[in-house]
Amino acid sequence: MPRTKIQTEQIRAESRAKIIATARRLFAERGFDGCNVSEIAQQAGMSQGNIYWHFPSKEAIFQAVLTEGFQAIGGTMAEAATHAGSGLEKFNRFLEAFLALTREPGGDEFVMIMLTFLGQGGTGKFAEFGISTEQLGSDYHQALNAIFAQGQADGSFCPDLVANLMTTFFFSFINGLMLMYPREWRDIPDEVIREALLRLLGGKQGEK
């Protein structure tokens, strides 16, 4: 019996996801220059022709890996921002989801790729693959700014700091921790990171 259109689309989606997952692992282990399409195909258990059916080049695969990773981070922010609760509750929800994302299989590989790229050429390196870190940063900033502004309005965050500055401090803390201590930071308990950030940002400690 021939496949239905839905079955065909599902198979294609699964193949594409497998290519991205395999490539993400190899890029994290070896770097962008350390692997080629042939190796990605071999590790994914596919022919090179199948790979090229989905992606025209290794660069396109890498762009898909980056896009998927950044979208996942943005998704945790959007979900937390629209969730019911105080600004502090939304921040805690985002932080918990973000830390889980960066430590789970796939997410930890994306973090390694991102940190390697930042170390090699800064944010400009991403532009080579069509990723605008300026736009991403703006979107992330706006989402967190809204959470912090709500927290200041409802009293769960200290009103002394400008929300935009709080967001800057947050990303400086997280990015600095990951970049300077790429292995050690993974062993720091989530609660320790949370309490350190609340002290830095003027959030009410001891509240969930």
Where do the domains of the chain lie, and which CATH numbers do they carry?
A: 1-56 (1.10.10.60), 62-201 (1.10.357.10)
Whether residue 169 contacts residue 201, with contact meaning beta carbons closer than 8 Å, is answered with yes
pLDDT above 70 as % of the chain: 94
**181 pLDDT above the threshold of 60:** yes
pLDDT at 102: 87
Query: 203: helix, coil or strand?
Result: strand
Q: Using 50, 70 and 90 to split pLDDT, how confident is the model at 2?
A: low
Structure tokens at 79: 């979900």
pLDDT by residue (tens digit) across 140-156?
Answer: 888 999 999 999 999 99
For residue 18, is it left (φ>0), alpha (ψ between -120 and 50) or beta? alpha
Q: Using 50, 70 and 90 to split pLDDT, how confident is the model at 16?
A: very high
pLDDT at 183: 82
